[in-house]
Amino acid sequence: MFTTSEAFSSFSVDNIDEARRFYGDTLGLEVRDGMMGNLDVRLGNGGRVFIYAKPDHVPASFTVLNFVTDDVEKTVDELNARGVTTKIYGDDELPDMPPNDAKGIMRDEEDGAAIAWFRDPAANVLAVVAATVPE
């Protein structure tokens, strides 16, 4: 039914201007003004995210957007240099998972996959991951 239709994700923020600056200036994504003051964020692979302001916004308690990279360490260093905090979880908050390092990077036992979480200005959780994207 949906195999030929376009799909996109969406989530809310409490301040659309802060979101525009964060996603556009800090993360370097293409951010377009959408209908009714919302944002249309264009992703590198052609995907989109619709970000809308919500007066009673509650940050997502889960990861709403994952950015795949070849080098998590380098990307985390770049995020940190732009003022983004990547160590947002303590090991006690992730008891069933491998520990994360001082930068907040968690690696699997084989040191193959890696992930680091960070928050947008509305406290939604995002992540940078080293992983193979399924075909």
Predicted confidence (pLDDT) per residue in 46-95, tens digit: 889 999 999 999 999 899 999 999 889 999 999 999 999 998 888 788 77
Give the up-direction half-sphere exposure of residue 47: CA atoms within 13 A in the CB hemisphere: 11
In this structure, the chain runs to a length of 135
Q: What is the mean pLDDT of residues 114-129?
A: 95
Work out the average pLDDT over 95-112: 81
d(CA 48, CA 43): 6
pLDDT confidence of residue 132: 61
pLDDT digits (tens, 9 = 90+) for 5-59: 788 899 999 999 999 999 999 999 999 998 889 999 999 888 899 999 999 999 9
Both tokens of 24, joined, read 């556009």
| β-bridge pairing 105-107 and 114-119 | antiparallel
Whole-prediction pTM value? Answer: 0.88
Write out the DSSP string of the chain: --TTS---EEEEES-HHHHHHIIIIIS--EEEE-GGG-EEEEPTTS-EEEEEE-TT----SSEEEEEE-S-HHHHHHHHHHTT-------GGGSTTSPPB-TT-EEE-TTS--EEEEEE-TT--EEEEEE-PPP-
